[in-house]
Amino acid sequence: MVITILSRSHADRNVYPSAGVLFVHVLEREHFKGEFPPYPKPGDSSNDPITFNTNLMGYPDRPGWLRYIQRTSHSDGVLYGSPTAEHVGKATIIEITAYNRRTFETARHNLVINIMSTEDYPLPYQAEFFIKNMNVEEMLASEVLGDFLGAVKNVWQPERLNAINITSALDRGGRVPLPINNLKEGVYVMVGADVQFSSCLREVENPHNQLRCSQEMEPVISCDKKFRAQFDIDWCKINLVDITKVVTIHSNRPDPGTGVLPDIGEYNPPSESLKSRDFFADFLITLAVPSAVAMVLFTILGYSMCCRREGVDKRNMQTPDIQLVHHSSIQKSTKELRSMSKNREISWPLSTLPVFSQSGEVVPPIHPDNYETTSMPLMQTQTALPTHSSLRPPPTGQAAYYHKRGL
């Protein structure tokens, strides 16, 4: 018999799932919508985005076995998971807070999960299927899960069959599919039964199919057509676990012990009245000593800069008198020469330009024979023959120029 508890949410609902059986609880948007004030225009509120927050009462998160998924704010949320025998007995209160993302109002309900023990738990033969063409929340819908369990029952023929666990492939290292061709994430579904695995489920173990799996080809499974219409099963990833055998393996493990550490004597906590620490020595070392050294250096430097200055007077005193006289006489004549040359600069253009008198008249050349080469080529070429390039005076003319200046 398929035992899948599917309940609808109401305020302070009690649900009674069995340990070792998949528990699914749908948080319906429709139900929570009634909690929020109606939209001004009737009918519009049906599209309010609603999200849910679920947590164990008094704690920020859900218990570890309980998982939650809501794909979009316009789809229902689903709580699901597999309680185990250790959760039996105590009531688990889950706070469900619904947020209306349009009005930002909230509504809170409590879900009380009372986990029941089952005498036939756990079912010894467990098979995990990987279904490639489903997302986890699609698989959680009761009719889809019922269809799948029906198909498994058909090929396995057990007395009892339960869904034990459902895990999105994303939680097992799977990748988010590309948004093309309506690709799905894939989901692992574990079912448990009370009879040995059927020959069909074991077909993947034969050498021929193992070879095909290693070459990434689909194995040939005779009963695949029972699933094919709705479920695309990756038979290479089927995982068959016989719990009776696993338990014998576990019994070979070393004894885990009591979980209590050996007694290592009395614990002495540090005294409550702590002595205040003296930082004076630290202060001296880190501040006072460097400051003292800096002060000494400052004093020495200040003294030598202010009180030990020696200037021009000292230098003159140390120089022999004859040198000082010599030096100053050189300086004096240099100054004199400079002032004289200043005076000369005013008159030399006239003396170097014999072509013009001071009145501007043209003076006949002194040496007519040398006219071309020596005496006065510069101004001649520049004034009388303006077509000649003034940038290239003949070298002889240049020499004459300096000659006339007497340099």
Which residues in this chain contact ligand NAG in the complex, by CB under 6 A? 82, 84, 165, 167, 171
CB of 169 to ligand NAG, least distance (A): 10
Instruction: Give the distance from CA 205 to its chain's centroid.
Output: 45
CB of 122 to ligand NAG, least distance (A): 9
Residue 25: beta bridge partners?
A: 7, 79
CB of 84 to ligand NAG, least distance (A): 5
Between CA 328 and CA 323 the distance in angstroms is 9
The residue (of 189 and 221) whose beta carbon lies closer to ligand NAG is 189
The residue (of 243 and 301) whose beta carbon lies closer to ligand NAG is 243
The residue (of 170 and 355) whose beta carbon lies closer to ligand NAG is 170
Pairing of strands 161-168, 91-100: unpaired
CB of 126 to ligand NAG, least distance (A): 9
Between CA 197 and CA 195 the distance in angstroms is 7
CB of 63 to ligand NAG, least distance (A): 12
CB of 172 to ligand NAG, least distance (A): 6
The residue (of 82 and 92) whose beta carbon lies closer to ligand NAG is 82
CB of 62 to ligand NAG, least distance (A): 13
The residue (of 2 and 379) whose beta carbon lies closer to ligand NAG is 2
HEC profile of the chain: CCCCEEEECCCCEEECCECCCCEEEEECHHHHHCCCCCCCCCCHHHHCCEEEEEEECCCCCCCCCEEEECCCCCCCEEEEECCCHHHCCCEEEEEEEEEECCCCCEEEEEEEEECECCCCCCCCEEEEEEECCCCHHHHHCHHHHHHHHHHHHHHHCCCCEEEEEEEEHHHHCCCCCCCCCCCCCCEEEEEEECCCCCHHHHHHHCHHHHHHHHCCCCCCCHHHHHHHCCCCECHHHCEEEEHHHHHHHHCCCCCCCCCCCCCCCCCCCCCCCCCCCCCHHHHHHHHHHHHHHHHHHHHHHHHHHHCCCCCHHHHHHHCCHHHHHHHHHHHHHHHHHHHHHHHHHHHHHHHHCCCECCCCCECCCCCHHHCCCCCCHHHHHHHHCCCCCCCCCCHHHHHHHHHHHCC
The residue (of 66 and 201) whose beta carbon lies closer to ligand NAG is 66
The residue (of 82 and 198) whose beta carbon lies closer to ligand NAG is 82
CB of 165 to ligand NAG, least distance (A): 4
CB of 262 to ligand NAG, least distance (A): 32
The residue (of 88 and 353) whose beta carbon lies closer to ligand NAG is 88
